[in-house]
Each structure stands twice: as structure tokens, then as C-alpha cells.
Structure 1
Amino acid sequence: MAVRLKHLRCITALLGSSTILSFLYFQNSALVLMDISHSLVSERAPCACGNCVTDQGNSSWFSERYKPTVPLLLNSNNSVLHANVSRWWKELQDVPNVSNYTAVVDQLFSLFPDEEHYSDAGPDRCRTCAVVGNSGNLLGSHYGPLIDFHDFVIRINKGPTKDYEKDVGSKTTHRIMYPESAMDLDNSTHLVLFPFKILDMQWLFSAFTTKNITQTYTEVPSTIKANKDKVMILHPEFMRYVYDNWAEGHGRYPSTGFLTLIFALHICDEVNVFGFGATSDGNWHHYFDETLTPFENDSHAGDFENKTIIRLQQENKILLYRGWT
């Protein structure tokens, strides 16, 4: 009897030890799995595309220039300008304007959307963007269907689509403009104002209300057709950031095309660029006319901007389509 009790105690002890060891084993396994899971989450790409623009680990050159925290679009909560930004931006204005900037901003956001945009980026998104310039190298390219396949199609100034659909596409989600390049838009397109002066902001408000501004440094339309609920205004601080970080102080201020491209790097997960640069014979003209345009001018450093765009492709941040002509 005593021997049986002894055996029974040994079996009970062994069973208890096995239970404890099993519990500790499974607990440690769970912890290991949790650690692996956390590690995988932390190493996930910033988007669901094959190559994400904001993956800064693969290009130190890009990381030194790209600033994800810079304000992109103006709203009432971020409208106060730093002194250096305000001074630089106001110096761009050829004709001095004594209008009160704060009052102009208040007026703007009494009419147009006053909200944050493009804050829904994440590891489950793959937002593809086509930035479409106006170069003659688009002619004969047959890029139209490819351009229209993108989530966002960003067009610059007055670049038309009618009669050019096979080469430039027909879809437009964003139209970049300022008063001197204004054009009518359909109801689904975002009007993105690039304000190079306070008067540009005043014109925007006037075009939807009083229609009394018809002149800047040249004649401008008093009104345009566009959806006021899709109006966006580029932040002057973003313009200064592009000038400092990407144009590296070359020229007086960045060109509209260059600003648009860097804008796309901040709202897109994948950026493909069409209609930038010269034609195959080295000429610079628009696809919709044959008037030669200067590569360099007093305001923009075209050569430096072009080299930066090429470097962005070399760093796998954009794909540059040069056309077939």
C-alpha cells in the first residue's frame, strides 16, 4: 500500500511538472509568435504598391530631401506663415500687394473646403498617379489608355485632352492652374491653385463670386466653370520647401511642372510621369502647338530641375515616360 501511494505521488508530480512545462512552452511560443508578428508589422511597406514612394529606406538621397510633415495644402488651421516663408513668397510678387493675407485666407475658407486632404495613406493602399506634362514628346506615344488607368491623373495648366485622347488620355482628376493659365473644368475635377501671389488667391475667390478681377500682370478670365467643393490651394510653405529641398535654391522659384511632380510625391504611392522634357530631336514645345518654349528662363532653373527629375527615376521614386517621338 505504501509503495502504491509513493508511485501515485510520483505520477502526480510528473503530471504536474509536465502541465507546468507545457504551459510555459506554449506561453513562450505565443510570446515568440507575437514578437514575430510585431516585427512583420513594423517591417511592412508604407503602401500596398510594389515600390512605394515613401519607402525612405532605399534612398538616402531621397530621404535627405523628402519632408513628410511639410504642409501640403492650405487650410484655416495651418495658414499662418513662418516669417522666412512669408518673406520669400511675397518677394515673388512683381506688383506689391498690400492686401491682408489673413483676411484673404479667411475669405477663401468661407467658400472653399476647409479640411485636411490625403490623410488616408497606409499599408493597405496603393494610390497610383500619372503626372501629365505638356511636352511634344507625347505626340504619337499612344500613352492615353495607360495614363487613364491611374487612380489620379494630374494635368498642368491648359494641356487639352480633346482630339489628343490616344496620346494623353481623357481622364483628369486634378488640374493645376493659376489665374493666367485658368480653364473651365468638369464637375469631377479638383482645381488645384498654385498661388504665386496673394492676388492669385483673391482671383480664385472672385472667379466664384464677384467676378471683378480681370487683370493681374496680364488679362485673366473673370470666372471659370469648376466645382467649388473640389478646390484646393497649394501651401506657400510647400512651395518654399520645394525651392529649398528639391530645387536647392536654383532659379527664382520652381516651375509649375516641377512643383506638380513633387506635389505628386506627397499624395501618391506610385508616381508615373508623362510629357516632361524635350522631344527626341531636342526641341521643347507643347504637344498642342509647335511654339518653342525656353528650357531656361529668368525664373526657373530648367536644367537643374531636369537633372533632379532624372535622379528621381534613378532612385526608383518615379517612372519617366519619354514618348515615342
Structure 2
Amino acid sequence: GLAGAPVGGAGASSGGGSGGPEKGGRVRCSRRMWVLLGSVGLVFLTSLLYSVSLRGGVSFNYLEPPGWEESRRVKLVPNYAGAHHLSPPDAPQQKTCACARCVGDPGVSEWFDENYDPDISPVWTRDNIQLPPDVYYWWVMLQPQFKPHSIQQVLLRLFQVIPGRSPYGSWDPGRCLRCAVVGNSGNLRGAGYGETIDGHNYIMRINLAPTVGYEEDAGSLTTHHFMYPESAKNLAANVSFVLVPFKTLDLVWITSALSTGKLKFRSSNQVQIFNPAFFKYIHDRWTRHHGRYPSTGMLVLFFALHVCDEVNVFGFGADSRGNWHHYWEQNRYSGEFRKTGVHDADYEAQTIERLAKARKITVFPGK
């Protein structure tokens, strides 16, 4: 048949040479062998390249946008700040200060260690002048402005008027820096904590917080006063003014007030600016997006947790009858804090309770 013709033809034509059929068979066999070896090699090379790329050993830079390597590293390896501090149960307890209980001591609370970032500065300085884009847009939208100023130019002008450095050092095993965070709750009235509050190294107060006439309950000394521009006032000598800015205009205001002498301080070192990146860190890690943003009380509490060794809390929360008001107000029903919808008072109270259970703060109960 037709099928046999080519075979016969091939056999006849190759039969002219000696040992032809055997030689042709060997050639075909060696070709097959090379094809087989080539296929195996290709499979091996492909799998090798694939496994190397999975490990991140090969980087095709021309395919990656700038900063891709950094973002990939963050996504693949979540860097929970403080996680590296966790000690095995039988390890000797590491001490970060000379107090009986220190905020920075690791291994006391896994929840605290996972959320606490010791590297983020509560103060806005020349070193952290550049806000990450996500922080900037979040902060700017807290109080949107019709015509925003250039944040860089505003800060550079401000840091010509104030030093723009953080006055706070890192943990020191030989130090015991005790701080009182004094809230404005009506539960301070009649509590008699004045002397205890005044016995701290740092005494931090919020907004109006008058002390004259309330010394027995609220104390008379202040080292740090946290204020919005709306509540700003001239402070006693050696009191640090910590501005909590909500918009670029607040920074323009403080620069002008200091330059014109509207606000007078013995030293420009007394003026510090609360860092918006620290503000957002509290919103993300600690109040977990409950409320539009954290209350000033929470901002001050976490400021203390990042600069102090021991933190004691006074004048937070409702009074014993469940009323929210200020200790200097006569009308105990006048408090509006819970009604604004801006802050989540209940969630913040739970966070404070959890910090107390984790032995990171001590809350002094009010009346």
C-alpha cells in the first residue's frame, strides 16, 4: 500500500552505505535524548526562577513602581511595633526605668506591646516635618479649609520662631519620670487629689483647666498645658504650651501670635506642636476609628505614655452619678461631651480601663 512505499524507499536509498539503518536509528535516538534533556533542563530552570522570585531574590526593577519594594515588605511582613519586645515567660523581666512599674517594660501585656510604637514622636519637629500622605490627607480633612496653605512653608516659618526639636529622651533604666494626666471631669470636685497631683514630675492639663480656687482637688502646679488655638492663653513661667493643631491655619496662627508677642513665653523651648502622625496613630491603634477622631484627653494620655515612665490619671470620665461636666462648672448637667458624636466616650473609657488592667496607667477614681 501507499503507507509502505516511503518506508521501502527509505530503506532502499539508505541501503547503499554500510550499516546505514543502524546509524540513522542512533541519530534519531540521540536527537530524542537531547530534546528530552533540554525539556528537563527548561522545567528545572523555570521552577528555579519561580522559587527565587517567591523568596524575593530577583527584582525586575523596570516592572515595579518606585517604593514598591518597601510597600511589598510592609504587606508581606506586618511590623507590629513592640512585637520584638515580647519576652519568653521564663526570661528575666527587662526594666526600662527605675519606677516600680514602667510604661516601657515589655512582656506585661501582649495587647499593649502589639499596638505601642515607641519610635513615633508625639511632637512635630524638624526631623519629622514631612507627613506621610495618608496622615496629611486624614489630618487636613478633620477641619477642611477653603484655601489651604502650603504646609511645608508654614512649618519652616514656625520652626524659625520655635526650636522644632523634641525635648524628650528615650528610656533610661536609672530614671523614674512620674506624670499626672489631669482631665477636666467634675469627678475631681471633692476628691482631694491636689497634693498627690502636685507630687509628680510632669503635670499635664487640658484646655481651660483652671487651678486657682480648685487647688485642693485639682492641684496648683502645671508643667504641660495642651490647648487648641481657641483656648490658648499666656501661661505661667516654665509651663510648656503644647498646641493641638487641626489645620494649617492653626500653625499660621501660632507663628503670628509668637512673632507679634500676642503670646509671650520666657523661652521658645516652651512651645511644642502635637504631631498629626501621632494623632492618627492613636486613632488607628488605640481608639480604632471609633468616633471621628480621639478626644483631647486621649491625645494627652498617649502623649504621656510615650514620654513618661509612670502615668497616673485624674479627672477622666463621668462623675459617680453618670454626669459629664467640668469640675469648675456649677451645673452638673451641662456637659456636652457625649452628645457631640465626634468622640466615642464609651470606647475611650474601655481603652482606659484596658490600659489600667495592663498595668500601664493608674486611674484615680473621682467622686
**TM bracket, shorter-chain basis:** 0.7 to 0.9
Q: What residue is the counterpart of 2:270 in the other structure? A: 230
> In structure 2, how many angstroms separate the alpha carbons of the residues matched to 1:233 and 1:260?
12
Query: In the alignment, does 2:234 pair up with 1:184?
Result: yes
Q: 1:250 aligns with which of 274, 290, 310?
A: 290
> Could you tell me which of 293, 299, 309 is aligned with 2:336?
293
Of 262, 265, 287, 2:302 maps to 262
Counterpart position of 2:200: 150
Alignment of 1:1-325 (within 5 A): 44-210=94-260, 223-227=262-266, 228-289=268-329, 290=331, 291-323=334-366, 325=367
* Residue type of the alignment partner of 2:357: Q
Structure 1 regions of 5+ residues with no counterpart?
Answer: 1-41, 212-222
Letter in 2 for 1:255: S
How many residue pairs get matched?
Answer: 273
Q: Which amino acid aligns with 2:292?
A: R
Task: Please tell me the residue identity of whatever aligns with 1:226.
Answer: F
Per-residue CA shift, 1:254-309, capped at 9, x if unaligned?
11111110111001100000000111111000001133223252321111111101
Aligned to 2:24: none
Provide, for residues 66-93 of structure 1, a one-character-per-residue CA deviation record: whole Å limited to 9, x for no partner: 1111122111121101110011011112
Match of 1:216 in 2: none
Q: 1:322 to 1:226 in 2, by over 3 A?
A: farther
Q: RMSD value over aligned CA atoms?
A: 1.6
**Structure number with bigger Rg:** 2
Q: How far apart are the structure 2 equivalents of 1:100 and 1:279?
A: 44
Change (3 A) 1:296 1:52: farther
Aligned amino acid, residue 232 of structure 1:
Q
Following superposition, the deviation at residue 252 of structure 1 comes to 1.0
Shift of 1:97: 3.7
Moved more, 174-183 or 89-98: 89-98
Equivalent pair of 1:155/1:176 in contact (CA under 8 Å): yes
Q: Secondary structure at the match of 1:55?
A: coil
Supply the distance in 2 between the matched residues of 1:226 and 1:116 (Cα, whole angstroms): 17
> 2: CA distance between counterparts of 1:229 and 1:177?
16
For the Cα contact (< 8 Å) 1:128–1:271, is it kept in 2?
yes
- Percent identical residues: 46
User: Partners in 2 of 1:57 and 1:286 — Cα distance?
Assistant: 37
Q: CA deviation at 1:44?
A: 4.2
Whether the 8 Å contact between 1:44 and 1:123 is mirrored in structure 2 is: no
One-letter amino acid of the structure 1 residue matched with residue 120 of structure 2: V
Query: Would you say the 8 A contact 2:161–2:259 is kept in 1?
Result: no
* SS of alignment partner, residue 155 of structure 1: strand
Going from structure 1 to structure 2, the CA distance change for 1:44 and 1:311 (only over 3 Å counts) comes to closer
Relative to the length of structure 2, the TM-score reads 0.72
Code of the residue aligned with 1:135 in structure 2: it is S
Q: Is the 8 A contact 1:137 1:275 kept in 2?
A: yes
Q: Which amino acid aligns with 2:305?
A: L
TM-score by length of 1: 0.81
